[in-house]
Amino acid sequence: MTEKKYKATPFPDGFLWGGSTAANQIEGAWNEGGRGPATSDFVRLFTKKMREEEPKEYDSRLPHNASTKEMVADMKEHPENWNLPKRRGIDFYHTYKDDLALMGEMGFKVFRMSISWSRIFPNGDDAQPNEEGLAFYDAVFDECHKNGMEPLVTLCHFDTPMHLAEEYDGFASRHTVDAFERYAATCFERYKGKVKYWLTFNEINNVITNPFTCSGVIFEQGETGNPYYGKWAYKYQVAHNQLVASAKAVIKCHEIDPDAKIGNMLCRLENYAESSKPEDQLQVLFEDHFNWFFSDVQAQGEYPYYMARFFRENGVEIEMENEDLDVLKRGVIDFVTISYYMTYIMRYKGEPVPKPSGSLVSQIKNPNLPMSDWGWTIDPIGFRITLNHIYDRYHLPIFISENGYGAVDELDENGYCADDYRIEYLKAHVEQLGEAIKDGVDVFGYGWWGPIDLVSSGTSEMTKRYGFISVDLDDEGKGTGRRGKKKSFFYYKKLIESNGADLSTDNIVEE
């Protein structure tokens, strides 16, 4: 057999190539195996078409501005009137062996996944964990290792137990902090030796834009009697509680399993100024501060200087327990992970200390970049830029926990998809990842978001597909669920086999 030779690769030996998922988007079986309900089970399908068709009201019963609390109540009373895809997922709960075998066939070295908190503690704060849930993840981790993959596990990925949301307003309460610490300790003890890499919260900065999804905050402000005032005060109090919970989990991980490593997860928002005007440059600085705030606390163990003025001018007074600052200092992370999909254009807003934009999709489009079907800019060079920014700031190892391309896929009569657009996106971003490593950035792994088609996080649709592996299910949950290999499946397999050296799109062998 002729030995394969490739150009020198910037990727180190043992680089962790793989893919990333979340329990609430793939598992399904929302009421099986002793699992309790989670916030993700009350997130409905809401596509762009639906938004255009429903400009005034969600449906005949609820007004357009219905609160989360009102919507959840109606979902409980009239579940038949709602399409709740995250309850279905893609049935990974029953198909995990076959799905992981396909990922192993691609050569994955790592599989980022999450544990469903309410599968371990159905209410989030039960006296005893659910053994059936613990055993399920034992089996999943065993299957990962069987297929040559290290599991990288997120403890809470947008699925706070519903009991904690309804009774305690999620992480607005210190009760939830305590419950999370106990849940994390249970996982570290149970899976010691099986899981080397942990993450605390997925995209923790999303508490500002989506507190229900990220932090289990279900009540409208003022309904709970909490002593927080002003929307920023309330959200940053929740953020503080969640940051303390994260730090406590880090401390527990280091105590229980000193060989394990534990990191954070930041939705990285890389910003460009709209012009060379100093005001626009200043806006980029402000926006970066609001994004970096979360990882600054997690990586540096203290509140950054730049938030003091914002807190003062917006009436934010964080209520802390006596040990909180010490906990944050002791609970610093071992490595940084990010999601990176696009870059943003910022324009000065005319305020000395502006409020963060709160928009995951920039309202100002970059004329120099192409866009996806969902209007997300495609910016591989921005990937290199943000990796350099992160490493320059923290000097900690980096794992890319999410990078991917959502698109409307078309399958032929045999169920095959020639997704060259996904291959081009992957190729361009891995090229720039390699350049960042040549720059000196310490990156030890890359997880493509959605290696298998899954339910979208934001809109709960299946139409927006990321996978190298297709899943025959539509937005209504109709279909056979059959898995198939897209063209990108074979490209990524080739790329991994060469450790990132062979990025050519020629000679893709499809088996």
Give the pLDDT mean for 26-44: 97
Q: What is the pLDDT of residues 452-511, one digit of tens each?
A: 999 999 899 999 999 999 999 999 999 999 999 999 999 999 999 999 999 999 888 887
pLDDT at 1: 35
**What pLDDT, in 10s, does the model give residues 422-443?**
999 999 999 999 999 999 999 9
Mean pLDDT of the region 51-59: 56
d(CA 170, CA 179): 10
Q: Is the confidence at residue 156, as pLDDT, over 70?
A: yes
Domains and CATH numbers, the chain: 16-45+83-497 (3.20.20.80)
Q: Which of the four pLDDT bands, split at 50, 70 and 90, describes residue 220?
A: low
Where helices occur in 122-161 by DSSP H, the ranges are: 131-146
Which of 2 and 70 is assigned the larger pLDDT? Answer: 70
**336 three-state secondary structure:** strand
Instruction: Tell me the catalytic residues.
Output: 203, 402
pLDDT-based confidence at 219, cuts 50/70/90? confident
The residues near 32 (Cβ < 8 Å, ≥ 6 apart) are: 93
Name 129's Cβ contacts closer than 8 Å, sequence gap at least 6: 120, 121, 186
**Tens-digit pLDDT profile for residues 356-409:** 665 555 678 899 999 998 889 999 999 999 999 999 999 999 999 999 999 999
Rg (CA), the chain: 22
Rounded CA-CA distance 409/262 in Å is 35
Instruction: Look at 227-231, 412-416, 491-495 and tell me which has the smallest mean pLDDT.
Output: 227-231
Residue type, 115: I
Return the top range by mean pLDDT from 153-157, 214-218, 415-419.
153-157
Rounded to whole angstroms, how far apart are CA atoms 281 and 288?
Answer: 11
pLDDT in tens, 237-278: 999 999 999 999 999 999 999 999 999 999 999 999 999 999
Query: Looking at the predicted structure, is the pLDDT value of residue 60 above 80?
Result: no
Q: What is the mean pLDDT of the chain?
A: 91
Residues 383 and 279: their CA atoms lie apart, in Å, by 25
